Amino acid sequence: MFWKKIKWHKAANSEAEIKLNSNGIGVVEIEGKKICVAKAKNEWHAFAYSCPHAGGIMAEGYLDEAGGNVSCPIHGYKFNLKNGRCKIPDGFTMKTYRVDSKEEGFLIGIEEGRFF
Ligand code: FES
């Protein structure tokens, strides 16, 4: 059994400040690292800027809001927004991050390590 150490970073002052492109995906920057954000099924998600298959830019991908997935614009692999798992083909996992929207702002949690 292990615990993940999460450091929370303020990505915006509020949800309203997040700019989404025509595909419903936005990009925020945390300590110089680009992270994609999108809202599906009334819930915010944060995920990798680059596809784990061959580096496609996920911000240019396609949201399947009803299914809770995002598809890569290069080869179309579909990743679950909650856990990053790719259904077809199996074996690729897109990095996902925790999101929290509070009075102090729109926060993204970055894993800093694990401890036992
Ligand atoms: S680069 Fe994303 S599916 Fe191939």
Gap from CA of 21 to ligand 1 centroid (Å)? 20
Give the pLDDT confidence of 48-97 residue by residue, as tens digits.
999 999 999 999 999 998 889 999 999 999 999 999 999 777 689 999 99
Residues in the chain: 116
Q: How far apart are CA 47 and CA 24, in angstroms?
A: 13
Report percent pLDDT > 90 for the chain.
Answer: 81
**Is the minimum distance from the CB of 72 to ligand 1 under 6 angstroms?**
yes
Tokens of 106: 């729109």
pLDDT for 116 equals 66
Q: Ligand 1, closest atom to CA 55?
A: 1
Provide the residue ranges of all domains of the chain, joining segments of one domain with +. Answer: 3-115
* Residues ≥6 apart with Cβ < 8 Å to 59: 21, 25, 26, 27, 34, 36, 49
- Tell me the average pLDDT of the chain: 93
- Whose tokens are 């996920």? That residue is 58
Pick the CATH number of 3-115 from 1.20.59.10, 3.40.1010.10, 2.160.10.10, 2.102.10.10: 2.102.10.10
Measured in angstroms, how far is the CA atom of residue 3 from the centroid of ligand 1? 31
48 Cα: distance to centroid of ligand 1 (angstroms): 12
Q: What is the pLDDT of residues 6-40, one digit of tens each?
A: 999 999 999 999 999 999 999 999 999 999 999 99
